[in-house]
A and B are shown apart, each in its own frame.
Chain A
Amino acid sequence: MTIDRPLPLDSGQALPSVTIAYQSYGTLNADRSNAVLVCHALTGDQYVASDHPATGKPGWWARMVGPGKPVDTDRYFVLCANVLGSCMGTSGPATPDAATGAPLGMAFPVITIADMVRAQAMLLDHLGIARLHAVIGGSMGGMQTLGWAAAYPERLASAVVIASAARHSAQNIAFHEVGRQAIMADPDWQDGQYYGSDRAPTKGLSVARMAAHITYLSEAGLTEKFGRRLQARDAKSFGFDADFQVESYLRHQGLAFTDRFDANAYLYITRAMDYFDLAEPHDGRLAGAFAKARDVRFTLVSFDTDWLYPTSESRRVVQALQSVGAAASFVELSAPFGHDSFLLDVPALDRLVAGALRNGG
């Protein structure tokens, strides 16, 4: 859907119009009160519960969203929109310039999490949905969810924030910078103007994904899955092939990623995450961000093996919410999969999400 209204951005710039690609599941009820917005993570997309058109794989949260699932599409009208700056149909660096018709590339303005949220709010305006039953998201989706509560507290009843944080730490920024530098160091990146050429920075993007992928897993998980096992060989090669299974796995993850993701979009979205700090506009007081959100029911979940967005970051949010008197729930779940736990088989998470979406009682 293209909305012919300017979208003002945190940078001071504005997009003259914005295209938002989204998927919906279930039926909006008569009083338009059962809408649930699912916010996706860095490399996610709007195909939360339906097959991905490029890869043919099931939706990234099909285990959570669907008929009879915790986010029950028999009860809720579930929306998921591709975030601003991404590459699955929503306006981003691959979007053509209105004047020249050439892809914007690095001429696309730098965006923020708040800009993503503002674009989603425009989509809801367009769909005639004044208020959401819930906003829910993991990782960067959780940041958008917190952003919703900060920017539009009157527009949501419930916020479910999983494996996330209210700011990017120095370590978070550092890992992202490694990824961005890998992309920009790839000669095929061509200052971002690789669209239309026969070269794209797949090597750089692949390395970025490999580095990031490590941060999504726990050390114990990696050890259990791969250990020091060798890949399809009996002995070390004394060369630089993928001797170890973990190397082969990461190379595969990196390469497969380049089939479905745009390198510039990766630059823009990681930047948006790095700029994210909900406390910043409030002199560093996170509670200030939630001053008007005391009627929103919050549920926060962290995982004990997630070192990317550790429990301490969720606790910091909970403390801020408690200081403004908002109804907050929080639990640290035990799961072996590191940050990626929010996407994987953690039955306790299913129960929590179902409970958090219920209206009290």
Chain B
Amino acid sequence: MALRPDLAIIAGAVPAATRVLDVGCGDGDLIAALRDKGVDARGLEIDAANVTAAIARGQSVVQGDANRDLADYPDDAFDYAILSQTLQTTERPDRVIAELLRIAPRAFVSFPNFAHWRVRLALLWNGRMPVTRLLPVAWYETPNIHHVTVADFRDLVRARGIGVEAAWYLSGDKPTSAAAATWRAEHAIFLISRG
């Protein structure tokens, strides 16, 4: 099965022979890809069915909540932490990012860009919370409680003194430029590090 485009980018960017924690790992697709290239990848996942599926694949995954259970990992337990498509669902994204950069010196964070032009247009024309391919659930039942834009994220890391080592922007599964990312990127992936 083809890996989701943002996961494929992360899988490609993680060096072999590193230790990685995939936070919100689902049923372990990224972990499987990382293991294939010799990465010691483990996972944290909230959904029991997903955790069961990942463990059944022979992976090391702990059922837990990114809002709380990252605290159980010691400082520098990993080389990289990964948080893909999960940031916008956390109770305090800033604290989760701080935790990621406590347990690992570097972290990949990916999220849907709420300032993509389709989202902007939908808000502008309809005056309603947009329902899009990456944000498919109505406002009252969406798990995405902290919508975030590329510009918001850049502001946050700057304010917190967090370094950005690399960034990838996707429109569909095609890359798009950093300059136009704030409105053209459907999806952003940042490799951040302790400032």
Contacts and interface: CB of A to CB of B under 8 A. Distances in A.
Nearest to A319: B72
Nearest to A361: B58
Contacts of A352: 52, 55-56
Contact of B57 (A323, A325, A355): A355
A322 B49 CA distance: 22
Contacts of B57: 355, 361
Interface in B32-58: 32, 35, 40, 42, 48-49, 51-58
Given A322-B77, A323-B72, A329 B56 contact: no
B51 A331 contact: yes
Contacts of A106: none
A328 B77 CA distance: 13
A329 B43 CA distance: 8
B60 interface: yes
B90 interface: no
Contact of A322 (B48, B52, B56, B74): B74
A348 B52 contact: yes
Interface in A327-361: 327-334, 348, 351-352, 354-356, 358-361
B56 A323 contact: no
A322 B58 contact: no
Nearest to B32: A361
B60 A351 contact: no
B62 A351 contact: no
Interface string B62-95: 1110000000111001000000000000000000
Given A322-B74, A323-B74, A331 B48 contact: yes
A305 interface: no
A131 interface: no
B115 interface: no
A318 B68 CA distance: 14
Contacts of A348: 49, 52
A355 B43 CA distance: 15
Contact of A355 (B40, B56, B62, B73): B56
A299 interface: yes
B63 A299 contact: no
B119 interface: no
A329 B55 contact: yes
Contacts of B40: 327
Contacts of B56: 351-352, 354-355
A298 to B, nearest CB: 8
B188 interface: no
Give the 6 A-B residue pairs with the shortest CB-CB distance, closest first.
Answer: A355-B56, A358-B58, A351-B56, A327-B60, A331-B51, A331-B63
19 contacts: A319-B72, A322-B72, A322-B73, A323-B72, A325-B74, A325-B77, A327-B42, A329-B62, A330-B51, A330-B62, A330-B64, A331-B52, A331-B61, A332-B63, A333-B52, A351-B53, A351-B55, A352-B52, A360-B35
Interface of B: 32, 35, 40, 42, 48-49, 51-64, 72-74, 77
